[in-house]
């Protein structure tokens, strides 16, 4: 008796037809008439269920007929073609062993549940169609990202999660400590004495691995991070989580154009990979979550991405007939409504906007010759707006130091970052991509809480 997965059966049906096989999985539905019944079984290997048919000659027919939802079973039997029926084949059970009987109060009964309710049972929701699809696609997408970079010779770097530097200053941070709150050590001035903390200093959770990975970029030329990052922002929106995963590639001997090419190649590669490797899940999303999904993703895969400057983008927005909620003008940051106008209505495809005013971008971005803009890039996609942000980095020591002085950043906090410019620094560039934002885009799911296994948001860290 060969133990097989339901994925095997669907993908290589011919190999198993009329053979004795065994499958193990969980009951999704049971329908029984007097002398026979059907069970839809899902074994986690595949989005779809296998139909099992059983008859009253089963020694435990009664127990099987009254199986509760989500009970674990192992079925032995013969795989038969069922021509004309809704499904092309079914497993005719010779034996059904009950491996784990669900209690009758199983919370996921057949009726539809709201996503809000399902968040309260995040430990059970991957058993539903929607979340089974979301979290398999999350896995496939994560692998596609690694595969893309590894096949191109990038080195995966684990930048630190606990950081002693608020280097990027990209938002509010979570403090990491082992100090006893009821007995905080104080120095002679009465300030908290962080020299007594675990690391001997103040430490926080990282907001980005970029500065650290730049140092590895100067050794390996092509590197990337893929790890969790954190923001202690008090933003209770469908798009913000306190803990999320980021991918940050960095390439040396490379400028903003190389960076845009890399971002475009990566995005096309990973979307294509997911469409090819999770076709049933993607069909489901397109049918039940967002029926513009395939059109949207095809447009990304098949477009040549547009490239315009920030200055041009402002012109386009100023000439638009659209009423915007937020003001438009050179020097002001673009809001989502502006970004969406440009990518959805004006160009109708993905657009890179480059060369932003230095005032609205980070200190490490490379100063352009106009001395007013920096070599930043944001990639906008229809339906979302910004999905990737990046830049060419300032590799010129004096200009970087001057910029840091202007912004009041202390050189001693960045000594190692500056070293990279002193010792063989060369032009380099990189970008950041939020895994969850991309996953929302690819699945059509509209709340970040529904693409993270156990989401961490303001006032919520359950499980």
CA nearest neighbour of 374 among 343, 353, 345, 349: 353
**Would you count residue 461 as binding a copy of itself (CB under 8 A)?**
yes
Sole binder of a copy of itself in the list 155, 170, 320, 409 (CB under 8 A): 155
CA nearest neighbour of 233 among 463, 438, 459: 459
Q: Produce one character per residue of 132-145: b if its CB has 16 or more CB atoms within 10 Å, e if not.
A: bbbbbbbebbbebb
Q: Where do we find the tokens 């707006």?
A: 385
**Would you count residue 192 as binding a copy of itself (CB under 8 A)?**
yes
**Would you count residue 279 as binding a copy of itself (CB under 8 A)?**
no
- Residues near a copy of itself (CB under 8 A), total: 105
Q: Are 387 and 433 in contact (CB under 8 A)?
A: yes
**Would you count residue 117 as binding a copy of itself (CB under 8 A)?**
no
What part of residues 43-62 is at the interface with a copy of itself (CB under 8 A)?
A: 43-45
**Would you count residue 111 as binding a copy of itself (CB under 8 A)?**
no
Token reading at 371: 């001395």
**Would you count residue 166 as binding a copy of itself (CB under 8 A)?**
no
Whole-number minimum distance, CB 248 to a copy of itself, in Å?
A: 13
Q: From CA 355, how far away is CA 375, in angstroms rounded?
A: 5
Q: From CA 183, how far away is CA 161, in angstroms rounded?
A: 26
Whole-number minimum distance, CB 399 to a copy of itself, in Å?
A: 14
CA nearest neighbour of 299 among 275, 323, 277, 325: 275
| Residue 367 three-state SS | strand
**Would you count residue 184 as binding a copy of itself (CB under 8 A)?**
yes
**Would you count residue 266 as binding a copy of itself (CB under 8 A)?**
no
What part of residues 60-89 is at the interface with a copy of itself (CB under 8 A)?
A: 70-72, 74
Q: Which is nearer to a copy of itself, 302 or 463 (CB)?
A: 463
Q: Are 168 and 207 in contact (CB under 8 A)?
A: yes
Whole-number minimum distance, CB 326 to a copy of itself, in Å?
A: 28
Q: From CA 342, how far away is CA 313, in angstroms rounded?
A: 7
What part of residues 404-423 is at the interface with a copy of itself (CB under 8 A)?
A: 416-417, 419-420, 422-423
**Would you count residue 38 as binding a copy of itself (CB under 8 A)?**
no
**Would you count residue 443 as binding a copy of itself (CB under 8 A)?**
no
Whole-number minimum distance, CB 192 to a copy of itself, in Å?
A: 5
Whole-number minimum distance, CB 396 to a copy of itself, in Å?
A: 9
CA nearest neighbour of 452 among 131, 163, 169, 211: 131
**Would you count residue 7 as binding a copy of itself (CB under 8 A)?**
yes
Sole binder of a copy of itself in the list 4, 16, 24, 377 (CB under 8 A): 24
Q: From CA 368, how far away is CA 108, in angstroms rounded?
A: 57
**Would you count residue 1 as binding a copy of itself (CB under 8 A)?**
no
Largest CA distance in the chain: 85
Whole-number minimum distance, CB 221 to a copy of itself, in Å?
A: 4
Q: Which is nearer to a copy of itself, 24 or 355 (CB)?
A: 24
**Would you count residue 142 as binding a copy of itself (CB under 8 A)?**
yes
Sole binder of a copy of itself in the list 32, 78, 179, 320 (CB under 8 A): 179
Whole-number minimum distance, CB 331 to a copy of itself, in Å?
A: 32
Q: From 52-60, 79-87, 157-165, 309-317, give the range in contact with a copy of itself by CB under 8 A.
A: 157-165
Site track 194-233 with a copy of itself (rule: CB under 8 A), x = hit: ----xxxx-x-x------x--xx-xxxxx----xx-x-x-
Rg (CA), the chain: 27
Sole binder of a copy of itself in the list 30, 39, 176, 400 (CB under 8 A): 176
Q: Are 362 and 390 in contact (CB under 8 A)?
A: no
Q: From 57-65, 78-86, 136-144, 363-371, give the range in contact with a copy of itself by CB under 8 A.
A: 136-144
Sole binder of a copy of itself in the list 92, 126, 294, 320 (CB under 8 A): 126
Crossing angle (nearest 10°) for helices 435-443 and 256-277: 50
What part of residues 351-390 is at the interface with a copy of itself (CB under 8 A)?
A: none
**Would you count residue 394 as binding a copy of itself (CB under 8 A)?**
no
Q: From CA 267, how far away is CA 118, in angstroms rounded?
A: 30
Q: Are 423 and 292 in contact (CB under 8 A)?
A: no
Sheet of 428-434, strands arranged across = 155-156, 222-230, 243-252, 428-434, 385-392, 373-381, 351-357, 306-309
Q: How many residues does the chain have?
A: 463
């Amino acid at each position: 008796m060969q133990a097989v997965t339901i994925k095997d059966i669907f993908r290589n049906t011919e190999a198993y037809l009329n053979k004795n096989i065994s499958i193990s999985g969980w009951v999704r539905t049971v329908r029984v008439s007097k002398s026979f019944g059907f069970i839809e079984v899902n074994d986690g290997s595949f989005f779809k269920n296998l139909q099992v048919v059983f008859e009253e000659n089963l020694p435990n027919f009664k127990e099987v007929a009254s199986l509760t939802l989500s009970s674990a079973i192992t079925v032995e039997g013969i795989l038969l073609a069922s021509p004309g029926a809704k499904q092309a084949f079914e497993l005719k059970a010779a034996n059904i062993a009950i491996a784990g009987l669900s209690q009758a109060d199983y919370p996921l009964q057949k009726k539809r549940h709201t996503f809000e309710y399902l968040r309260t049972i995040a430990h059970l929701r991957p058993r539903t169609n929607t979340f089974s699809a979301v979290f398999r696609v999350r896995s496939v997408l994560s692998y596609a990202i690694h595969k893309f970079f590894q096949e191109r010779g990038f080195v995966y770097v684990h930048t630190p999660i606990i950081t002693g530097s608020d280097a990027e200053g990209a938002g509010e941070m979570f403090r990491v400590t082992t100090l006893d709150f009821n007995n905080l050590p104080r120095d002679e001035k009465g300030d908290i004495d962080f020299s007594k903390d675990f690391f001997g200093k103040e430490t926080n959770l990282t907001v980005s691995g970029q500065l650290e990975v730049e140092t590895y970029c100067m050794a390996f030329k092509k590197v990337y991070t893929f790890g969790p990052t954190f923001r202690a922002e008090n933003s209770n929106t469908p798009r913000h989580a306190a803990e999320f995963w980021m991918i940050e590639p960095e390439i040396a001997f490379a400028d903003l154009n190389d960076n845009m090419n890399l971002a475009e190649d990566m995005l096309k590669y990973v979307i294509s990979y997911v469409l090819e490797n999770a076709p049933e899940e993607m069909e489901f999303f397109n049918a039940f979550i967002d029926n513009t999904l395939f059109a949207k993703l095809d447009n990304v895969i098949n477009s040549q991405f547009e490239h315009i400057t920030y200055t041009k983008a402002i012109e386009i927005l100023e000439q638009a007939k659209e009423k915007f909620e937020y003001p438009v003008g050179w020097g002001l940051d673009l809001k989502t409504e502006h970004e969406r106008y440009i990518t959805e209505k004006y160009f109708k495809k993905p657009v890179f906007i480059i060369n932003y005013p230095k005032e609205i971008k980070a200190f490490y971005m490379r100063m352009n010759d106009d001395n007013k803009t920096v070599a930043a890039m944001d990639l906008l996609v229809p339906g979302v707006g910004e999905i990737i942000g990046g830049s060419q980095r300032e590799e010129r020591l004096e200009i970087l130091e001057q910029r840091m002085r202007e912004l009041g950043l202390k050189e001693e906090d960045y000594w190692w970052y500056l070293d990279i410019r002193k010792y063989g620094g060369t032009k380099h560039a990189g970008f950041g991509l939020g895994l969850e934002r991309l996953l929302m885009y690819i699945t059509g799911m509209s709340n970040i809480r529904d693409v993270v296994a156990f989401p961490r948001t303001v006032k919520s860290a359950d499980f």
